[in-house]
Amino acid sequence: MKYKFSVVFMCTLILFVVLVLFALLNGKLGISSAQLWHKIATGHDNQIDTIIDLRLPRIIVAICAGAALSVAGAYLQAVLKNPLADASIIGVSSGALVAKALVMTLMPTLFFYMPIISFIGGLLPFTLLFYLQHRYQLNPMRMLLVGVSMYAMLNGMLEYLTANPAVRLSAGLSLKVWKDAAQISVTTCIGLILAITVIFQANMLGFDDRQAHNLGFPIQRYRMWIGLIAVFLASSAVAVAGAMAFVGLIVPHIARRLVGSDYKKVVICCVLFGAIAVLLADTLGRLMSRQFEVPAHIITVIIGGPYLIYLICKGAYRNEYQQR
């Protein structure tokens, strides 16, 4: 069911603001709204400063990671013409983390170039999958199997590299500092600006290749360019926040179901929905137990796994129905 975009946008924006305030005020050490406003009015409160310095960078990282991964997922699904495409499923996230681990092992002095290095690592599995799909005309299910195979291989490499005590990858969203928040904010803003510039081209990817060529639209060139933007968004987010499975799979489907398939609306909704999804998962993980935290990526896997199964079964049913 499609809803009016303005209604969806305003409701989501209100929910987003409420969730940010809730995440900021709640934790092992709670803050009252009166204390927060006192801090804003007076500008000094050592206890509140300490809590905010611990929570606010984490909130910013969660928001940026969710927005980046969701928009990346929407564009990957358009580029690969596969509703099951997601950075975590096709190996982009694992490739970015493997590149990061390799640099930390072999060339730790290049650590400051991590966004670029992670982008290159995520680009390799995407390029291979893009080539195989174009070369062998893989259907969505075969493409998914190839992506899962690359994910498994890269994950094996990642486990081998992280066995080295000197290699410490991002432990989810915990222990984030202002440096992490600044890095992911910059890369996410750059990626989203680039994503906005190709909205028209993303809508054109819905056409058949032959139709696009007849209209004079260089579809392969734009498909690769949009794919590069998606990989940059996903890789830069993973480099800071760690792997966050299924966010880029679930959020675009929800956005399209609510506002339709126009990427002008889908991208805006993905930014808000993705930010809410990851921030909500992180906040729930923090508040579920006082003894330990449940990492946000575990919550996204628990929710996303069944949803992937649902999409696969739904697609299989449609194929069987069409054959009859």
For 219-267, the pLDDT digits (tens) are 888 999 999 999 999 999 999 998 888 999 999 999 999 999 999 999 9
Q: Options 2.60.40.10, 3.40.50.300, 3.30.420.40, 1.10.3470.10; which CATH number does 66-316 get?
A: 1.10.3470.10
Give the pLDDT of residue 316: 47
> How confident is the prediction for the chain on average, in pLDDT?
86
Confidence of residue 206 (pLDDT cuts 50, 70, 90): confident
Cβ neighbours of residue 321 closer than 8 Å, sequence gap 6 or more: none
Q: Domain boundaries in the chain?
A: 66-316
- Mean per-residue pLDDT, 98-104: 88
Q: Which residues contact 175 (CB under 8 A, 6 or more apart)?
A: none
175 or 300, which is more confident: 300
Torsion of CA 298, 120, 308, 195, to 10 degrees: 110
* DSSP code string of 234-300: HHHHHHHH---TTHHHHHHHHHHHHH-S-HHHHHHHHHHHHHHHHHHHHHHHHHS-SS----HHHHH
Structure token pair of residue 275: 């930010």
0.75 surpassed by pTM: yes
Tokens linked to 215: 């209209």
pLDDT of 212 above 50: yes
Residue 324 has pLDDT above 50, yes or no: no
Over residues 52-62, mean pLDDT: 90
Closest by Cα among 9, 92, 64, 83 to 264: 9
Confidence bin at 270 (pLDDT 50/70/90): very high
- Give percent above pLDDT 70 in the chain: 87
**Range with the poorest average pLDDT among 158-172, 201-215, 242-256, 300-314:** 158-172
Query: For residue 40, is pLDDT > 70?
Result: no
Residue 144, pLDDT score: 81
